């Protein structure tokens, strides 16, 4: 398979780990269990492995996951482990800790600092690794809460060799400053897209770029249609039901899907911005990856960066 689209998007370094900017988000590998629908048919294991191998063959070399990405019969980490066991190339795996779920899938809330080692070790077991490439601390508390104690616990695990690099998720600029005073931060993962611009408003996207830190949006495709995305094979499918006239206009110009336009817009935000769209559909996977080669003009970027324009 061609890797041209991924190559066209360029690379970025997570510490000493160079990755292509277009990656893959593994949440969809579990079916819809993460979206509250435990009755959804689980993805076939061999199909999941084939999907991951297809992503790797197309140039994807970093995957976003978490131990809490599981449904009654499937675990994203274990599917990734299975795929990597038969793949010869290098793939960087970034996982998250902080939130927890019990074996039945019920959310347990956020871990205490002293519980983070257990979550790290669970990721190690599921992924079949001796150390984790990147661990993001997912902050689920109030924006005013400090993350220093939690991040400090992870920094100790980094020093112990269980973790190679550290990142943050769902944070504000003051959290990044707190963390950087403790240990190096290689990435920040926040909700971000055309309609989710808080990380622009508070300066976090640019701050990450200034410090050489990757900014990794999630829900970059879905935007305000996030809930509907649970019924599709990717974050928001190929754009059926797209609600923004601006996106539809640019998509028609390029013969692209609205989802591709949304991904391309985030990648144009800066060379340090990565993409981790998720899907369980091979066709949507190819479309998401192809967005890495989509080039938007200055006028198109200005149009998309403006006020929402509802489709009628």
What is the mean pLDDT of the segment spanning 268-289?
96
Range 144-158 average pLDDT: 98
Hey, which residues does 218 pair with through a beta bridge? Answer: 191
pLDDT of residue 42: 75
Nearest to 38 by CA among 95, 83, 94, 101: 101
List pLDDT tens digits, range 121-135.
Answer: 999 999 999 999 999
69 is a catalytic site residue: yes
Instruction: Enter the pTM of the model.
Output: 0.92
160 alpha carbon, distance to own chain's centre: 26
The CA distance from 211 to 226, in Å, is 30
User: Element (H or E) spanning 175, and its range?
Assistant: helix 173-180
Burial class (CB in 10 A: 0-12, 13-18, 19+), 108: exposed
Residue 66 tokens, joined: 């978490």
Quickly state the pLDDT bin for 232 (edges 50, 70, 90): very low
Is 168 strand, coil or helix?
strand
**pLDDT value of position 2:** 86
- Residue 129, token pair as written in the block: 């690794």
Half-sphere exposure of 133 (CA within 13 A, CB side): 22
Map out the domains of the chain with their CATH numbers.
4-304 (3.20.20.100)
Annotated catalytic residue within 24, 56, 69, 70:
69
Interval 209-231 mean pLDDT: 74
């Amino acid at each position: 398979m061609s890797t041209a689209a991924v190559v066209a998007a360029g690379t970025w370094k997570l510490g000493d780990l160079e990755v292509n900017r277009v990656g893959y988000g593994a949440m969809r590998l579990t079916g819809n269990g993460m979206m509250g629908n435990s009755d959804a048919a689980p993805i076939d294991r061999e199909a999941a492995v084939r999907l991951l191998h297809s992503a790797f063959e197309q140039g994807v070399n970093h995957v976003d996951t978490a131990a809490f990405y599981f449904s009654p019969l499937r675990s994203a980490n274990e599917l990734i482990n299975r795929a990597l066991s038969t793949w010869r190339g290098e793939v960087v795996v970034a996982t998250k800790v902080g939130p927890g779920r019990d074996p039945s899938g019920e959310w347990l809330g956020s871990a205490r600092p002293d519980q983070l080692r257990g979550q790290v070790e669970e990721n190690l077991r599921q992924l079949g690794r001796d150390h984790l490439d990147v661990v993001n601390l997912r902050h689920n508390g109030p924006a005013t809460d400090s993350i220093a104690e939690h991040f400090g616990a992870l920094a100790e695990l980094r020093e112990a060799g269980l973790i190679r690099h550290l990142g943050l998720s769902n944070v504000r600029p003051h959290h990044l400053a707190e963390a950087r005073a403790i240990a190096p931060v290689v990435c920040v993962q926040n909700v971000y897209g055309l309609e989710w611009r808080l990380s622009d408003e508070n300066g976090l996207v640019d701050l990450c770029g200034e410090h050489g830190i990757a900014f990794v949006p999630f829900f970059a495709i879905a935007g305000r249609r996030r809930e509907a995305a649970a019924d599709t094979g990717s974050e928001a499918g190929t754009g059926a039901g797209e609600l923004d006239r601006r996106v539809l206009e640019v998509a028609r110009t390029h013969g692209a899907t609205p989802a591709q336009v949304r991904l391309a817009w985030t990648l144009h935000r800066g060379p340090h911005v990565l993409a981790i769209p998720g899907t369980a559909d091979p066709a949507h996977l190819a479309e998401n990856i192809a967005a890495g080669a989509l080039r938007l003009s200055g006028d198109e970027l200005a149009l998309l960066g403006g006020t929402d324009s509802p489709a009628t």
